């Protein structure tokens, strides 16, 4: 089974801090994704990557950046955390035209 | 672009009731279709899928049939249980900028009362 692991289940950070959310997958997949999930809005794509050092903006990239130095690791970076970035963050890897595999999610609270 | 529309929630039912969660889609061609489930405090996991028109996906008593005529993939279960309480997402793959991503509906929160 594919395993996608996010480094933290819960995080509390202060406004203005730089925040790193880490995601590791063990199946050598090329495509990796970061979504945020908010009530009533479903899942919104922040960034995705289809290869090492490659990244593409999703639907809501503002305030975020990503890093993909190794195939198995895809990091989401909040350059200067703000309260409106309080959310659930979900990492996923997807095989072409097949299912996605998700991490357990990181619930981030910015105070 | 490709999109998915789900019935709005939340949905509250009694145990053993019949469940339908509607999902319609807009897409180029005939992509695979998926239902994902998210239990409290967890990430999403695949519930069922269908890869072509008229296919029926099924798992854990849930079913959904790929209907290209009505561009729908409604989720059904004949008798729900308290343990089915979760958020359900309909999804399809979409090719964007040469890479494939999943497009999700907004999710439907289901609560089953004993």
Q: pLDDT tens, position by position, for chain A (111 residues)? A: 778 999 999 999 999 999 999 999 998 888 899 999 998 888 999 999 988 988 999 989 999 999 999 999 999 999 999 999 999 999 999 877 678 899 999 999 999
Q: What per-residue confidence (pLDDT) applies to B96? A: 72
Q: How far is B14 from chain A (nearest CA, A)?
A: 23
> What residues form DSSP beta bridges with A101?
A93
Q: Which chain A residue is nearest to residue B50, measuring alpha carbons?
A: A98
Q: Where does residue B83 rank: exposed (0-12), middle (13-18), buried (19+ CB within 10 A)?
A: exposed
Say which DSSP state A59 is in: S
Are B32 and A33 in contact (CB < 8 Å)? no
Between β-strands A106-110 and A10-13, what pairing exists: parallel, antiparallel or unpaired?
Answer: parallel
Q: What per-residue confidence (pLDDT) applies to A97? A: 66
Which secondary structure element, helix H or strand E, spans residue A49, and what is its range?
A: strand A42-49
pLDDT tens for B48-85 read: 999 999 999 999 999 999 999 999 999 999 999 999 99
Q: Which residue has the higher pLDDT, A39 or B11?
A: B11
Chain B hits for A58, Cβ within 8 Å: 101
Q: Where does residue B20 rank: exposed (0-12), middle (13-18), buried (19+ CB within 10 A)?
A: exposed
- % of residues, chain B, pLDDT over 90: 75
Question: Cβ of A76: how many Cβ atoms within 10 Å?
Answer: 23
Residues of A with CB under 8 A from a CB of B: 4, 6, 31, 33, 35, 37, 40-43, 45, 48, 50, 56, 58, 90, 92, 94, 96-100, 102-105
């Amino acid at each position: 089974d594919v395993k996608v692991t996010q480094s933290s289940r819960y995080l509390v950070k202060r406004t203005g801090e730089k925040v790193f959310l880490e995601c590791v997958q063990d199946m050598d997949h090329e495509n990796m994704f970061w979504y945020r999930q908010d009530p009533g809005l479903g899942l919104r794509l922040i960034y995705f990557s289809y290869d090492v050092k490659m990244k593409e903006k999703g639907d809501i990239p503002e305030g975020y950046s990503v890093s993909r130095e190794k195939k198995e690791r895809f990091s989401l970076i909040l350059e200067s955390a703000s309260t409106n970035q309080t959310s659930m963050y979900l990492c996923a890897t997807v095989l072409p035209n097949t299912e996605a595999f998700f991490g357990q999610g990181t619930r981030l609270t910015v105070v | 672009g490709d999109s998915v529309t789900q019935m709005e929630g939340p949905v509250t039912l009694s145990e053993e009731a019949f469940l339908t969660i509607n999902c319609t889609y807009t897409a180029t061609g005939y992509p695979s279709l998926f239902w994902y489930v998210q239990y409290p405090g967890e990430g999403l996991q695949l519930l069922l899928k269908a890869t072509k028109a008229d296919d029926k996906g099924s798992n854990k008593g849930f079913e959904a049939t790929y209907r290209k005529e009505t561009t729908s993939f409604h989720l059904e279960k004949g008798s729900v249980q308290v343990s089915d309480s979760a958020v359900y997402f309909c999804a399809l793959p979409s090719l964007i900028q040469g890479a494939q991503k999943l497009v999700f509906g907004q999710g439907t929160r289901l609560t089953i009362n004993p």
